[in-house]
């Protein structure tokens, strides 16, 4: 009787250990996948930031160009 009880206990413990191992592998996979997603999101964020910088730069250049054209026009009118 005691031997059967001990055998059942060992099987339960082994089953629990196996479940923990499987869960650990699943979590490792999820962590790896999330790290990949994080890298992709960082790349996407960097691309959007570059686009925003370019847009701001283009806007500043356009405004400077308009200002120069306006100054030239006003200078011609004054003369």
Give per-residue pLDDT as tens, 3-13: 988 999 999 99
Q: Two tokens at 46?
A: 């960097």
Per-residue pLDDT at 78 exceeds 90: no
Please tell me the distance from the alpha carbon of residue 46 to that of residue 40, in angstroms, as a whole number: 10
Per-residue pLDDT at 44 exceeds 60: yes
pLDDT band at residue 24 using 50, 70 and 90 as cut-offs:
very high
Give per-residue pLDDT as tens, 25-41: 999 999 999 999 999 99
Q: What is the largest CA-CA distance in the chain?
A: 115
pTM for the full predicted model: 0.59
Please tell me the distance from the alpha carbon of residue 42 to that of residue 49, in angstroms, as a whole number: 10
* C-alpha gyration radius of the chain: 34
Q: What percent of the chain has pLDDT over 90?
A: 57
Q: What is the pLDDT of residue 79?
A: 61
Please tell me the distance from the alpha carbon of residue 67 to that of residue 17, in angstroms, as a whole number: 74
């Amino acid at each position: 009787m005691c031997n059967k009880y001990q055998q059942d206990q060992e099987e339960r413990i082994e089953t629990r250990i196996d479940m923990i191992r499987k869960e650990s592998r699943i979590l490792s996979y999820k962590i790896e996948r999330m790290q990949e997603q994080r890298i992709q999101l960082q790349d996407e964020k960097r691309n959007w930031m570059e686009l925003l910088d370019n847009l701001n730069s283009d806007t500043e250049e356009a405004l400077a160009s308009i200002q120069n054209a306006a100054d030239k026009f006003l200078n011609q009118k004054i003369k």
